[in-house]
């Protein structure tokens, strides 16, 4: 986007009016708050909805299959960010993409709210995957648009937005989780739909006054003839895909395991192709090439980190349900409530970390070291959760405080890696690819969950210690390697700090 346009956008956004920040941040904050409320609310009960027997209101899917579906689902949600980012960049602009995304997400939750069968569940998954791909990367990009380039409030703006994400993620398991687990899963999903509806309401009713021209420009519009060509190609590809599905599903060629394998391959292949295209592009300068090389180990570390973090809503959710003493201190805990711990710790500790980094100034750890710390704590969070089985065996129920400790440790890692990860991606990606930065960053999470889908089958109560142990130690080893490579990576970063 030209500097002129950027200027025009910023001038159209009231620059104060929301806790000392541009008014537009209010709109983006609450839109994303409600979107995450619906997403994490749905995920807090979905896993149980899938594997609980039909007599308990569930779908009665085998538990390990349910855990794999959760991971495939999560992976596709972040993979589709590429499509959402591209559509916004070349066809709709951010603002429309967010709106369409919100509508699809709401419809997805409404479909889940209808008591039904596995078919409805898959339709809902499709809607939410495409909807989140349209909404999530684009709402985040708009946060960047409402500040002047050198506005000192910009970083704080992103932190406030990040708090909004986690506030939604914190409240959702308590509200959607409680209703979903205690009354009916479908009432829970209906609440998730209402959450997204409220998000859309905030967005539609305040975007004109608060966001001005932000999100209304298509940055790199497709020329009309190319649009036509692309539409034809898309339609042909869609028909071919449908034909392949129509042949392979009924004939039993496309089994769940094959599909899972395909997602696993895509999770690794797509980022690899991304790196190759960026590296070989004639628009990429020599310095930028070096920075891409520096980014690769950070990306791999990030995949390992999210693999552990995201198992908080799959493996650890199952652990909360089946291995944890839920009668604690006189109250009966719902297993879904444990999903609130991660975002709660984020909200509490994010300001402390922000303060710490400012306080340390130039003495704060470098980006690679922060990634290495992120992995260290993620690894520890898995090693801690194997201890109760080590001490008391896997037959007796575990004190819930072990889970609290595990979620706490992963959050310490998350605060070292996640906020810095996105900004590192922005700084290290070549300028010609900046529009896709957000999608590139989300690909590390997509890759992580694609891998998770392959490995969750190794988790059983009798293999629990081995499972947590192997993954935990692997994270520590990677953390050590990254730490040793730090000086080299810093060299390749060519001045980026």
Burial tier of 107 (Cβ tally within 10 Å: 0-12, 13-18, 19+): middle
Query: Quick one: 284 or 340, whose CB is closer to ligand GLU?
Result: 340
311 binds ligand GLU (CB under 6 A): no
Residue ranges in contact with ligand ASP by CB under 6 A: 40, 165-166, 169, 342-343, 346, 414
Task: Tell me which of ligand ASP, ligand GLU, none is bound by residue 38, counting a contact when its beta carbon lies within the kind-specific cut-off of 5 to 8 angstroms.
Answer: none
Query: Quick one: 381 or 418, whose CB is closer to ligand GLU?
Result: 418
Task: Tell me which of ligand ASP, ligand GLU, none is bound by residue 346, counting a contact when its beta carbon lies within the kind-specific cut-off of 5 to 8 angstroms.
Answer: ligand ASP
The Cα 135–Cα 28 span in angstroms is: 11
Task: Tell me which of ligand ASP, ligand GLU, none is bound by residue 383, counting a contact when its beta carbon lies within the kind-specific cut-off of 5 to 8 angstroms.
Answer: none
Closest CA to 455 of 25, 41, 46, 64: 64
**Minimal distance in Å, beta carbon 12 to ligand GLU?**
27
The Cα 468–Cα 452 span in angstroms is: 13
The Cα 449–Cα 464 span in angstroms is: 19
The Cα 440–Cα 442 span in angstroms is: 5
27 binds ligand GLU (CB under 6 A): no
Query: Quick one: 267 or 343, whose CB is closer to ligand ASP?
Result: 343
Q: Which of 445, 449, 452, 479 binds ligand GLU (CB under 6 A)?
A: 445
Residue nearest to ligand ASP (CB): 169
Task: Tell me if 217 sits within 8 A of 435, measured CB to CB.
Answer: no
**Minimal distance in Å, beta carbon 377 to ligand ASP?**
13
Query: Quick one: 178 or 394, whose CB is closer to ligand ASP?
Result: 178
**Minimal distance in Å, beta carbon 90 to ligand GLU?**
24
Beta strand 327-328 pairing with 331-332: antiparallel
165 binds ligand GLU (CB under 6 A): yes
Both tokens of residue 164? 């909004």
- Beta-strand (E) ranges in 237-396? 327-328, 331-332
Run of H or E including 17:
strand 17-18
Query: Quick one: 13 or 167, whose CB is closer to ligand GLU?
Result: 167
372 binds ligand GLU (CB under 6 A): no
**Minimal distance in Å, beta carbon 481 to ligand ASP?**
25
**Minimal distance in Å, beta carbon 406 to ligand GLU?**
17
The Cα 149–Cα 6 span in angstroms is: 9
Tokens 């027997």 correspond to 53
Task: Tell me which of ligand ASP, ligand GLU, none is bound by residue 338, counting a contact when its beta carbon lies within the kind-specific cut-off of 5 to 8 angstroms.
Answer: none
Q: Compute CA distances 7 → 53, 150, 207, 217, 494, whole Å.
A: 57, 12, 18, 13, 29
DSSP one-letter string for 391-452: HH-SSSPBPHHHHHHHHHHHHHHHHHHHHHHHHHHHHHS-GGGGGGHHHHHHHHHHHHHHHH
**Minimal distance in Å, beta carbon 277 to ligand GLU?**
22
Query: Quick one: 166 or 372, whose CB is closer to ligand ASP?
Result: 166
Run of H or E including 18:
strand 17-18
Q: Which of 27, 418, 452, 486 binds ligand GLU (CB under 6 A)?
A: 418
Task: Tell me which of ligand ASP, ligand GLU, none is bound by residue 445, counting a contact when its beta carbon lies within the kind-specific cut-off of 5 to 8 angstroms.
Answer: ligand GLU
The Cα 258–Cα 240 span in angstroms is: 18
The Cα 269–Cα 447 span in angstroms is: 9
**Minimal distance in Å, beta carbon 225 to ligand ASP?**
41
Query: Quick one: 194 or 307, whose CB is closer to ligand GLU?
Result: 307
Query: Quick one: 274 or 345, whose CB is closer to ligand ASP?
Result: 345
- Give me the torsion for CA of 92, 93, 94, 100, rounded to 10°: -20
**Minimal distance in Å, beta carbon 241 to ligand ASP?**
31
Closest CA to 306 of 348, 352, 342, 273: 342
313 binds ligand GLU (CB under 6 A): no
**Minimal distance in Å, beta carbon 464 to ligand GLU?**
25
Query: Quick one: 21 or 36, whose CB is closer to ligand GLU?
Result: 36
Interface residues with ligand GLU (CB under 6 A)? 36, 165, 306, 418, 442, 445
């Amino acid at each position: 986007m030209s500097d002129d346009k950027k200027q025009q956008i910023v001038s159209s956004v009231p620059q104060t009016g929301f806790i000392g920040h541009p008014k537009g941040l209010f709109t983006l904050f609450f839109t994303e708050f409600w979107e995450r409320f619906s997403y994490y609310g749905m995920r807090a009960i979905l896993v149980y909805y899938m594997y609980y027997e039909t007599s308990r209101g569930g779908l009665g899917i085998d538990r390990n299959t349910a855990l794999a579906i959760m991971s495939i689902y999560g992976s596709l949600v972040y993979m589709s960010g590429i499509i959402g980012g591209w559509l916004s960049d070349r066809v709709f602009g951010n603002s429309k993409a967010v709106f369409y995304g919100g509508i699809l997400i709401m419809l997805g939750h409404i479909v889940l709210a209808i008591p039904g069968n596995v078919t409805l569940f898959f339709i809902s998954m499709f809607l939410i995957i495409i909807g989140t791909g349209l909404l999530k990367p684009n709402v985040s990009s708009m946060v960047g648009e409402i500040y002047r380039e050198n506005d000192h409030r910009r970083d704080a703006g992103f932190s406030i937005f990040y708090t909004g994400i986690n506030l939604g993620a914190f409240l959702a398991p308590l509200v959607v989780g409680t209703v979903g687990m205690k009354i009916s899963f479908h009432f829970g999903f209906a609440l998730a739909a209402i959450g997204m509806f409220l998000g859309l309401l905030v967005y539609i009713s305040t975007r004109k006054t608060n966001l001005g021209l932000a999100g209304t420009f298509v940055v790199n519009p497709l020329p009309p003839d190319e649009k036509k060509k692309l539409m034809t190609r898309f339609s042909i590809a869609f028909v071919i895909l449908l034909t392949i599905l129509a042949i392979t599903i009924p004939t039993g060629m496309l089994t769940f395991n094959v599909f899972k394998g395909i997602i696993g391959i895509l999770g690794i292949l797509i980022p690899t192709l991304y790196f190759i295209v960026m590296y070989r592009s004639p628009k990429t300068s020599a310095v930028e090439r070096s920075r891409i090389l520096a980014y690769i180990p950070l990306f791999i570390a990030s995949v390992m980190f999210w693999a552990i973090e995201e198992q908080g809503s799959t493996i650890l959710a199952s652990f909360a349900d089946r291995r944890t003493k839920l009668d604690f201190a006189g109250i009966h805990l719902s297993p879904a409530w444990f999903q609130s711990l991660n975002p709660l710790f984020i909200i509490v500790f994010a300001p402390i970390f922000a303060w710490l980094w400012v306080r340390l100034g130039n003495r704060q750890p470098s980006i690679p070291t922060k990634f290495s710390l992120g992995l260290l704590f993620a690894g520890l969070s898995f090693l801690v959760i194997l201890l109760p089985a080590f001490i008391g065996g896997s037959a007796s129920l575990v004190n819930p405080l072990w889970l609290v400790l595990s979620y706490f440790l992963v959050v310490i890692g998350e605060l070292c890696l996640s906020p810095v990860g996105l900004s590192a991606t922005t700084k290290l990606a070549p300028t010609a690819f900046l529009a896709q930065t957000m999608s590139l960053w989300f690909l590390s999470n997509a890759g992580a969950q694609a891998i998770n889908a392959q490995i969750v089958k190794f988790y059983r109560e009798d293999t629990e210690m081995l499972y947590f142990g192997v993954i935990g130690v692997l994270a520590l080893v990677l953390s050590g390697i990254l730490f040793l490579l730090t000086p080299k990576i810093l060299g390749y970063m060519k001045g980026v700090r």
